[in-house]
Structure 1
Amino acid sequence: MNKKFEEKTISTEPIYNGRIIKVQKDLVTLPNGKTASRELVKHPGAVGIIPITAGGKLIVVEQYRKALERSLIEIPAGKLEPGEKPATTAIRELEEETGMGANQFDYLQTIATSPGFANEEIHLFIARDLYKIAQPASLDEDEFVELMEIDLEEAEAMIANGAISDAKTVIAVMWMRLNIQSIKK
């Protein structure tokens, strides 16, 4: 990892310690020797799952996101629990949000969501050879979602018209476009 422009922490002031995030203010030394303050959000990390049906469709969920004050269409996703491996979280979240399991899970990549102020990373997985789970785990009690299956063209149209604006879901659709030949096999 390149540390060419590393900012060294002088001090950290905790601001907020919540159920999901922590907020802190760090005083740092810049590469030129001057100091600056950084307001940072600490997040445990998350996963995003790109579930592809046998027919080559993407399974997405629609859910309300309070931070944006509107519903979003997204790939299934969820927060890492303490000590939980991303692959385990992906399996759990796919079941909770879609009622499905997958015989094939492949790691795609890890993305930084907002590195200017947050350390959240989302580990993306491709889920294929999907199957219904007879008695799936329930959604969290404060979670409400509606499932949809969309093909690549529908997904791209939804990005173009703003119905899909979530970054991890846009990446999922881009991955589908780049891998369309292997998806349709």
Structure 2
Amino acid sequence: MDDHLKETKIDSALVYDGSFLKVIKDTVRLPNGNAATREYIPHPGAVVILPVLDNGRLLLERQYRYPVGQVFIEFPAGKIDPGEDPLVCAKRELLEETGYTATDWKFVCKIHNAIAYSDESLDIYIARGLTAGERKLDEEEFLDVFDCTPQELTSWVRSGQITDVKTIIGSFWLEKILSGGWQPIGR
């Protein structure tokens, strides 16, 4: 049904190959027959964890993000390793970043956060039945872990104190799930 909107790859070139990011420049055939270029960043995907403590409080992180030069409030998240199952990644990232493990995991949704310039997608999971343990941060990772109420999270989103898109979307889903209005869609 959408064939009249599709673009077809004619040629592709790797224009930047860094240790973390790559940039691809494709030549495409547009629906009207003309050619155009498309530059994008391929990404292996990532996960976002919405950790809910037994007392109803939420686990969040404060982390400095170099590209925008500031500390952000975020849900735990991380990049999927090659061949890694997204749920396995979510469990690994929750433990590494917060020290917590969870006994109850539910898939919430998949989001595409940068469709104009990347194929990155993020799988969002809600984690319950949390048990505290020791963090296992990566060598180059520095972050603070704290907890807050769902109401505090919502007020920070509304006031603009939280601008990270994965955290905003996660907060909206959590609000619906915790009120009983929505159920995680599962897999």
Q: TM-score range by the shorter chain?
A: over 0.9
What letter matches 2:66 in structure 1? K
Residues 56-67 of structure 1 mapped to structure 2, 5 A cutoff: 56-67=56-67
* Structure 1 gap segments, 5+ residues each: none
Q: Give me the whole-angstrom Cα distance separating, in 2, the residues matched to 1:20 and 1:112.
A: 19
TM-score (norm 2): 0.92
Partner residue, 1:81: 81
Contact 2:24 2:41 survives alignment (8 Å): yes
Tell me the CA shift for residue 140 of structure 1.
Answer: 0.7
Residues 143-158 of structure 1 mapped to structure 2, 5 A cutoff: 143-158=141-156
Partner SS for 1:28: strand
* Aligned with residue 175 of structure 1, among 161, 165, 173: 173
Q: Give me the whole-angstrom Cα distance separating, in 2, the residues matched to 1:115 and 1:35.
A: 20
Q: Give me the whole-angstrom Cα distance separating, in 1, the residues matched to 2:97 and 2:180.
A: 25
Partner residue, 1:102: 102
When structure 1 is superposed on structure 2, of 137-146 and 117-126 the one drifting more is 137-146
* Structure 2 gap segments, 5+ residues each: 182-187
Partner SS for 2:175: helix
Tell me the CA shift for residue 96 of structure 1.
Answer: 0.5
TM-score (norm 1): 0.93
Instruction: Kindly tell me the number of residue pairs found equivalent between the two proteins.
Output: 181
Contact 1:20 1:44 survives alignment (8 Å): no
Q: Give me the whole-angstrom Cα distance separating, in 2, the residues matched to 1:3 and 1:126.
A: 36
Q: Give me the whole-angstrom Cα distance separating, in 2, the residues matched to 1:94 and 1:54.
A: 16
Q: Give me the whole-angstrom Cα distance separating, in 2, the residues matched to 1:117 and 1:4.
A: 21
Partner residue, 2:31: 31
Tell me the CA shift for residue 118 of structure 1.
Answer: 0.4
When structure 1 is superposed on structure 2, of 87-96 and 5-14 the one drifting more is 5-14
What letter matches 1:169 in structure 2? T
Contact 2:6 2:30 survives alignment (8 Å): yes
What letter matches 2:50 in structure 1? I
Contact 1:20 1:43 survives alignment (8 Å): no
Partner SS for 2:129: strand
What letter matches 1:30 in structure 2? L
- Please list every run of at least 4 consecutive aligned residues from structure 1 whose deviation after the TM superposition is greater than 3 angstroms: 1-4
CA root-mean-square deviation: 1.6
- Taking a change above 3 Å as real, the CA distance of residues 151 and 16 of structure 1, as seen in their structure-2 partners, is same
